[in-house]
């Protein structure tokens, strides 16, 4: 595709610069006065709203109930959870003054809410009859990050955190796996992003979890992005939190826990998976504007009326449509603008089109251009949006699959990771070997496990028998 937007760095010249150019020029975000904290502007927040609107009913279908817990955790409680503290202490923001007085027990601004959920469940869960509990909250969390990038890593970000409690181990494991499938579906049907999904290696498992599962996406620059995780937490957190219930046999038992989360990082994934040198390319399901109707020669009253008519008809179909009949800007400027903003479908209506009862149609994702009969709008536009959504998913899937290379040696691994994409390799599964791989490849890590309990092959690092096959990649 021709590069039309000089304000945006080419991806191949400097992908990081391309990314921030797109975030800024497409008005997805704005930097706030506090380093690492961003203003989510309507166009960027709109993407998150669309994701939330798609995901929330799926969570509820799986029995999740939404709650809201405080944004503050007493330092005394926070310090009790040792493993937790080690993971988050370097990153916490602490409030020490409230209502003009020094606080006896300072308050940690939540970096995540395990502690508060444990505290709540301790009071709510008394009997097996109170189980399962599947609480979820949509909120923001704060982590004092040194290096931040819009949507990918910020000192405050928006997310959902599901924290569930079950009577049996099986239910908790099943929940972690079931929610991984839900996340995968969000990718497939909403973000048009195919994920590699699977268990994390020991080294990459969440501190305190028995097993972590992840969805991993491939960015245009060949790097992986962890886009969401689900955890089977066993009984560790519940024991530490003192949660116990009277079981069916009238004895006190400890429940089994799972948790799962996705965040505004998904907005970053959408940008980096689909974007091109002209800017954003948005899948219809998350696009704040799915169709833009642009008038050509808008001083012509007939053109204005036709644009307004088409706009109203699209709205009536429930389509997020935008109307642009602003006489102050040229059609050329507008085309470049809406391409940069990644609007999936553009309809142009001018006097000549009107004479023929037509509109010119342009598809952002494929670059395809054609004409449509105005009478055909109702039939054609929803169908095209569906096709674009599917086409974008399939194209991304093709790229993902083409990027996967089976390797057996460290040299092959290095070669694949230097080029970008995923290397699928058997290894011993040990943490030490993973650390060595990271060093040797300059940042390559096991993203998720492809196959467990394999019985042939050798670890290319330590030479011991291989136990798992994993996807390796450099990651954000």
Q: Give the nearer residue to its own copies in terms of CB position, either 44 or 430.
A: 44
Please report which helix (H) or strand (E) contains residue 340, including its range. helix 331-340
Please report which helix (H) or strand (E) contains residue 215, including its range. strand 211-218
Report the distance separating Cα 202 and Cα 195, nearest Å: 20
For residue 94, give both structure tokens. Answer: 């602490």
Instruction: Give the nearest distance from C-beta 410 to its own copies in angstroms.
Output: 36
Instruction: Give the nearest distance from C-beta 252 to its own copies in angstroms.
Output: 20
Q: Give the nearer residue to its own copies in terms of CB position, either 120 or 180.
A: 120
DSSP-based three-state secondary structure for 326 = coil
CB atoms near residue 130 (< 10 Å)? 15
Q: Is the dihedral of CA 58, 59, 64, 70 positive or negative?
A: negative
Instruction: Give the nearest distance from C-beta 163 to its own copies in angstroms.
Output: 12
**Using CB under 8 A as the criterion, which residues of the chain lie in contact with its own copies when the complex forms?**
30, 32-34, 37-42, 45-46, 48-49, 65-74, 77, 89-100, 106-107, 109, 116, 119-120, 123-124, 129, 135, 139-140, 142, 144, 146, 156, 158, 328
Instruction: Give the nearest distance from C-beta 125 to its own copies in angstroms.
Output: 12
Report the distance separating Cα 368 and Cα 364, nearest Å: 7
CB 295 within 8 A of CB 350: yes
Q: Give the nearer residue to its own copies in terms of CB position, either 140 or 168.
A: 140
Instruction: Give the nearest distance from C-beta 46 to its own copies in angstroms.
Output: 7
CA 418 from chain center: how many Å?
25
Q: Give the nearer residue to its own copies in terms of CB position, either 94 or 405.
A: 94
Per DSSP, the residues of 399-424 read: HHHHH-EE--SHHHHHHHHHH-S-EE
Report the distance separating Cα 417 and Cα 442, nearest Å: 9
Q: Give the nearer residue to its own copies in terms of CB position, either 94 or 462.
A: 94
Q: Give the nearer residue to its own copies in terms of CB position, either 130 or 189.
A: 130
Degrees to nearest 5, angle at CA 195 with 193 and 199: 160
Q: Give the nearer residue to its own copies in terms of CB position, either 69 or 233.
A: 69
* C-alpha to C-alpha distances, 247 to 118, 239, 254, nearest whole angstrom: 19, 15, 9
Q: Taking each helix axis as running N to C, give the angle between helix 265-274 and helix 42-61, from 0 to 180 degrees, rounded to the nearest 10.
A: 110
For residue 416, give both structure tokens. Answer: 């694949």
CB 139 within 8 A of CB 66: no
Q: Give the nearer residue to its own copies in terms of CB position, either 64 or 413.
A: 64
Instruction: Give the nearest distance from C-beta 372 to its own copies in angstroms.
Output: 28
Instruction: Give the nearest distance from C-beta 350 to its own copies in angstroms.
Output: 23
Instruction: Give the nearest distance from C-beta 56 to its own copies in angstroms.
Output: 9
């Amino acid at each position: 595709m021709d590069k039309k937007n000089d304000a945006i760095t080419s991806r191949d010249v400097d992908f990081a610069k391309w990314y921030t150019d797109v975030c800024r020029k497409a008005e997805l975000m704005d930097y706030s006065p506090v380093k690492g904290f961003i203003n989510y502007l309507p166009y960027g927040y709109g993407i998150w709203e669309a994701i939330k609107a798609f995901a929330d009913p799926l969570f509820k279908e799986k029995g999740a109930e939404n709650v809201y817990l405080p944004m503050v955790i007493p330092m005394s409680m926070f310090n009790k959870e040792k493993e937790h503290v080690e993971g988050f202490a370097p990153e916490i923001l602490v409030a020490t003054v409230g209502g003009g007085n020094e606080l006896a027990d300072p308050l940690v601004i939540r970096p995540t809410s395990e502690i508060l959920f444990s505290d709540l469940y301790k009071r709510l869960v008394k009997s097996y009859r109170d189980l399962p509990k599947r609480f979820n909250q949509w909120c923001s969390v704060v982590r004092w990050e040194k290096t931040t990038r819009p949507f990918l890593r910020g000192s405050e970000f928006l997310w959902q955190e599901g924290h569930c409690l079950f009577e049996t181990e099986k239910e908790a494991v099943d929940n972690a796996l079931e929610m991984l499938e839900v996340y995968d579906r969000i990718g497939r049907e909403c973000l048009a992003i195919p994920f590699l999904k699977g268990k994390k290696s020991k080294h990459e498992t969440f501190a305190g979890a028995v097993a972590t599962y992840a969805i991993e996406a491939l960015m245009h620059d060949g790097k992986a992005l962890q886009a969401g995780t689900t955890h089977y937490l066993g009984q560790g957190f519940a024991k530490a939190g003192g949660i116990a219930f009277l079981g069916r046999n009238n004895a006190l038992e400890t429940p089994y826990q799972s948790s799962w989360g996705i965040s505004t990082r998904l907005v970053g994934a959408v940008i980096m998976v689909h974007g091109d040198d002209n800017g954003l390319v948005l899948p219809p399901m998350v696009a704040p504007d799915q169709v833009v109707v642009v008038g050509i020669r808008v001083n012509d009253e007939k053109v204005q009326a036709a644009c307004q008519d088409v706009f109203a008809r699209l709205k009536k179909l429930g389509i997020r449509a935008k109307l642009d009949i602003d006489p102050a800007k040229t059609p050329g400027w507008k085309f470049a603008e809406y391409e940069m903003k990644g609007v999936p479908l553009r309809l142009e209506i001018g006097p000549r089109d009107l004479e023929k009862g037509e509109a010119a149609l342009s598809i952002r994702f494929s670059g395809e251009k054609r004409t449509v009969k105005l009478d055909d709008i109702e039939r054609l536009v929803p169908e095209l949006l569906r096709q674009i959504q599917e086409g974008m998913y399939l194209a991304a899937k093709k790229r993902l699959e083409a990027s996967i290379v089976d390797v057996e040696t460290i040299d092959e691994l290095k070669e694949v990771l230097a080029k970008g994409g995923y290397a699928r390799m058997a290894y011993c599964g040990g943490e030490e070997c993973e650390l060595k791989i990271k060093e040797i490849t300059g940042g390559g890590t096991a993203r998720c496990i492809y196959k467990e309990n394999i019985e042939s092959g050798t670890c290319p690092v330590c030479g011991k028998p291989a136990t798992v096959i994993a996807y390796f990649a450099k990651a954000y």
